Structure 1
Amino acid sequence: MTAELYTLDASSKDYHRIAGALAFLGDNWRDHPDLDRAARAAGLSPHHFQRVFTRWVGVSPKKFVGALAHDTAREALEDGACMLDAAFEAGLSGPGRLHDLFIAHEAVTPGDAKRRGAGLQFTWGVAPSPFGDAVMLVAPRGLSAMAFADPDVESGFADLEARYPAAEYTRDDTVARQWAERIFTPTGPEKLPLALYGTPWQRQVWRALLTIQPGETTSYKSIAEHVKSPKASRAVGAAVGANPISWLIPCHRVLASNGKLTGYHWGVERKRAMLAYETARG
């Protein structure tokens, strides 16, 4: 197995333990938990936890807790921010970038969506990712959807299939794996074609999401202003929620107006992990 493939598999395997550790540290940083306590929260030995956490997050557990304890974090908490949001304010967020993401998104007629996928042919499959197993739909013109296999592969696929119930599906995990290797490379994804099946309004919002850089966050209100509909925050929220391609179209970077981590289809725990993954590498 090559180093790249090992990294992809290992990051997927480590995800659930690290997500739990991030939540534990976010809730308990004021107590300055030592390595042993944090390791127990992840179900690992201290030595193994130190290595896995640093590899996945990009900084050591001690540095992560140190950022949480920063004075800026204290100020953010006094203003009502949640623990992890305070961590980002304390220095894990900022102008740094994980990668420059260039995506060629092809305009697809909304009639395809209105026909509930009739006439569309998708290859679907499952591949490891840093956030657990990813389920992908690939159309002839590009990647059409990427979700996560929660609580299992069948549920993850059913969630995507419900978007296009009249389409035809062929499973090929090798194809999904090839896409995962292109998306989750250490240097960031290459230019990727996306076949976005949605209404013109949805595609407009999804394109706005692509302007949010890694390590940055925004609000639904700001997205509404970006698409020249400042009073349409709820409609923007619906379009963000309908985003078919998790991670690449970064709806995880959209926070509530009060800065809280809310409203992610694949779970706030995963949203927290995605933001930590990006900002620690900024």
Structure 2
Amino acid sequence: MSRETYHYEKIAKAIAFIVANAKAQPSLFDVAEEVSISQFHFQRVFTEWAGVSPKRFLQYITAAYLKEKIRESSNLAELAESAGLSSQSRVYDHFITLEAVTPLEFRNKGNGVSITYGFHETPFGECFIAVTERGICAMAFVDEVTRNEQLTLLMKKWVNAAISENHIVTQDYVNRIFDPSGQTPVRLPLIVHGTNFQLKVWEALLKIPNGSVTTYQQIAKSIGVPGAVRAVGTAVGDNPVAYLIPCHRVIRKEGILGEYRWGSLRKKALIGWEASRLELQNSLVP
């Protein structure tokens, strides 16, 4: 197990414990004991990962905080516009573009397409990523059990493509996604299979700024089908590119995080981590 995976597993276990025992307000010592590392080491690891203390992190995933964030995001278009390129938290989001496979690629199931895939460590555990010459075509968080599942899904979707593993190629993409600091922003094109309705939903997800959340109802309203909340939920769940198409930023209107294709605990980690990073970035703005 790599150092990054080890740390994320400890952090995920700590988040689960903190959430489950929120009313009792467990001490730093209690949490460190639960994850079987020293209090000093846990504090350092958690703060390095989140940028804030465990206590502060917990505030970002409470229903009260999330309800307030929902009120802020009542209009997705205005929210995206207000974030703007001047905000460091949105700079990289603006370099993500979404494109559907061509009708010919769909009919031929990838004939003539070369796909490279790899497995890599991230701040949220191991991920699977697959890329073509035109962009990223799949991304998912995995564990030992689901590793082969993701590769099988890729092969079923792109039956006739030439698929090969090359972690050196895919590592460059992972670096740009999860460690963009100090790098020149580079466009990250996404190439996906999807219906017109799914594409509309996924495009709407791309408008949710880093550190913000919205609801299924707001997504439905933003794409002009306010009555299609259930269908929107299904499309959100079918998201083929984890993290970059930020379906984790969609929660229930009650401020409850809800389920997540790659685990509800990981959704808590993602939302809390993004909110923490946004606070840090804003504190550095003069």
Shorter-chain TM-score bucket reads 0.7 to 0.9
1:84: which partner in 2? 62
Q: 2:162 maps to which residue?
A: 168
CA distance in 1, matches of 2:6, 2:170: 17
Kept after mapping to 1: 8 A contact 2:63/2:254: no
2:193 alignment partner AA: Y
Match of 2:17 in 1: 24
In structure 2, what is the equivalent of residue 243 of structure 1? 239
Task: State the Cα distance separating 1:199 from its structure 2 match.
Answer: 2.0
CA change 1:30–1:148 in 2 (3 A) is: same
Is 1:257 equivalent to 2:253 in the alignment?
Answer: yes
1:23 is displaced (CA, Å) by 1.6
Q: Secondary structure at the match of 2:277?
A: coil
Amino acid in structure 1 at the alignment position of 2:43: Q
Alpha-carbon offset, residue 16 of structure 1: 1.7
Q: Structure 1: which 5+ runs fail to align?
A: 1-8, 69-82
Question: Aligned equivalents of 1:114 and 1:85: distance in 2?
Answer: 45
Q: Which runs of structure 2 are paired with 1:120-131 in the superposition (5 Å)?
A: 120-131=113-124
Cα distance 1:14–1:190, how it changes in 2: closer, same or farther (>3 A)? farther
Structure 1 residues 110 and 249, CA, compared in 2 at 3 Å: closer, same or farther?
Answer: farther
TM-score between the two structures when normalised by the length of structure 2? 0.80
Distance 1:252 1:239 in 2: 13
Deviation sequence 1:172-223 (CA, Å, 0-9, x none): 1111211100101153964212212322221111110000111111111111
Number of equivalent positions: 258
**Alpha-carbon deviation of 1:110?**
4.6
Runs of at least 4 residues of structure 1 off by over 6 A?
93-97
The SS at the match of 1:17 is helix
Given residue 84 of structure 1, which amino acid in structure 2 is its aligned partner? T
AA partner of residue 180 (structure 1): V
**Is contact 1:124-1:171 (8 Å) kept?**
yes
Cross-structure match for 2:203:
207
Residue 162 (structure 1) shift: 3.9
1:47 to 36, 40, 43: 40
Distance, in Å, in 2 between the alignment partners of 1:154 and 1:13 is 21
Distance in 1 of aligned mates of 2:197 and 2:110: 18
What is the letter of the counterpart of residue 218 of structure 1? T
Distance 1:249 1:39 in 2: 33
Report the aligned-residue RMSD: 2.7
Map residues 60-71 of structure 1 onto 2, 5 A cutoff: 60-64=53-57, 67=59
CA apart distance, 1:87? 5.1
- The CA distance in 2 between the partners of 1:217 and 1:236, in whole Å, is 15
How far is the alpha carbon of 1:118 from its aligned partner?
Answer: 4.4
On the 8 A contact 1:113/1:199 being kept in 2, the answer is no
Summarize the alignment of residues 1-282 of structure 1 with structure 2, pairs less than 5 Å apart: 10-64=3-57, 67=59, 84-86=62-64, 88=66, 98-100=89-91, 101-102=93-94, 103-110=96-103, 112-113=105-106, 115-150=108-143, 151-187=145-181, 190-282=186-278
Identity %: 39
Unaligned 5+ segments in structure 2 are: 73-82, 279-286
Letter in 2 for 1:201: F
Deviation readout 1:88-111 (Å, 9 max, x if unpaired): 4589x9789744312133343255
